[in-house]
Amino acid sequence: MNLLLMGPPGAGKGTQSKRLEGVFGLVQLSTGDMLRAAVKSGSDLGRKAQAIMERGDLVPDDLIIDMISARIEEPDCANGFILDGFPRTVPQAEALAVMLAEKGGKLDHVIELAVDDDAMVQRITGRYTCAGCGQGYHDEFEKPATEGVCDKCGGTEFTRRADDTEDTVRNRLNAYHEQTAPILAYYKEQGVLKDVDGMADIDAVTDQLKGVIGGA
Ligand code: AP5
């Protein structure tokens, strides 16, 4: 089974993908995480992407399509994957359709996390991550059980993303509405688009997603 979670920055794509991975035995493919790893490693791709990401603009389609087409050929994707952050433009969606057709696969569900933009700035500027294991938290909505200690690995070092500033978030929201939202119509026409209320609390969103996916 292959899933695609859609929604603007802060909608909860990453949070929910990590939860659904275990439930359905799928692998999360986050193009944002892949690009951040490329920036950290100092690779050619990372050097090209870094300034673009810090502005909140989209990385060119050809770089993203090459990156994801190589990734979905890896063995851990054989049982299916959850796309988080890809596709983000109509050319990316069209390239994905070709990649899946070549593998004899398809998107089983495209699910939009429907949210209010205004709340996304608060979600993103409050987000932080364990430096040890990558577990995500939020200053208000998802705190560790013991303040300053990661629930998952016990780590005490945390990081915030370079693009999680208020100005950059607003640019990322604009990029979403101008370049990514048109994909929703593309999937609606194909009859695969569903939506869930992404403004509900995190557990309630997971339950809605399980209902949509499990009920297919
Ligand atoms: P990317 O990493 O994909 O960022 P994004 O789409 O902006 O999404 P986020 O990770 O910010 O949000 P999310 O929906 O995953 O929210 P999360 O679950 O963390 O991309 C970064 C950059 O890389 C782009 O700007 C671009 O430059 C480049 N890029 C990536 N892919 C590309 C592509 N395909 N093409 C071109 N360029 C590309 O939740 C946010 C916070 O809210 C968390 O703290 C969480 O705890 C909290 N939260 C989540 N759900 C809820 C809830 N229901 N209630 C309360 N709090 C919640």
pLDDT at 103: 87
Which ligand 1 atom minimizes the distance to the CA of 5? 14
Q: How far is the CA of 124 from the centre of ligand 1 (A)?
A: 8
Output the tens digit of pLDDT for each of the chain's 216 residues. 999 999 999 999 999 999 999 999 999 999 999 999 999 999 999 999 999 999 999 999 999 999 999 999 999 999 999 999 999 999 999 999 999 999 889 999 999 999 999 899 999 999 999 999 999 999 999 999 999 999 999 999 999 999 999 999 999 999 999 999 999 999 999 999 999 999 999 999 999 999 999 854
Tell me which long-range contacts 177-185 makes (C-beta under 8 A, separation of at least 24): 177/8, 179/58, 179/88, 179/89, 180/6, 180/8, 180/88, 180/89, 182/90, 183/6, 183/87, 183/88, 183/89, 183/90, 183/93, 184/6, 184/112
Q: Is the CB of 13 inside a 6 Å radius of any atom of ligand 1?
A: yes
Is the Cβ–Cβ distance between 29 and 81 less than 8 Å? yes
CA of 159 to the centre of ligand 1 (A): 15
Q: Which amino acid is at 86?
A: F
Residue 76: predicted pLDDT: 95
pTM of the predicted model, to two decimals? 0.94
Using a 6 Å cutoff on CB, does residue 67 contact ligand 1? no
> Measured from the CB, is residue 124 less than 6 Å from ligand 1?
yes
CA of 13 to the centre of ligand 1 (A): 6
Distance in angstroms (rounded) separating the CA atoms of residues 108 and 101: 13
Q: Tell whether ligand 1 has an atom less than 6 A from the beta carbon of residue 8.
A: no
Separation of alpha carbons 180 and 31, rounded Å: 14
Distances (CA, A) of 25 to 17, 64, 140: 11, 25, 30
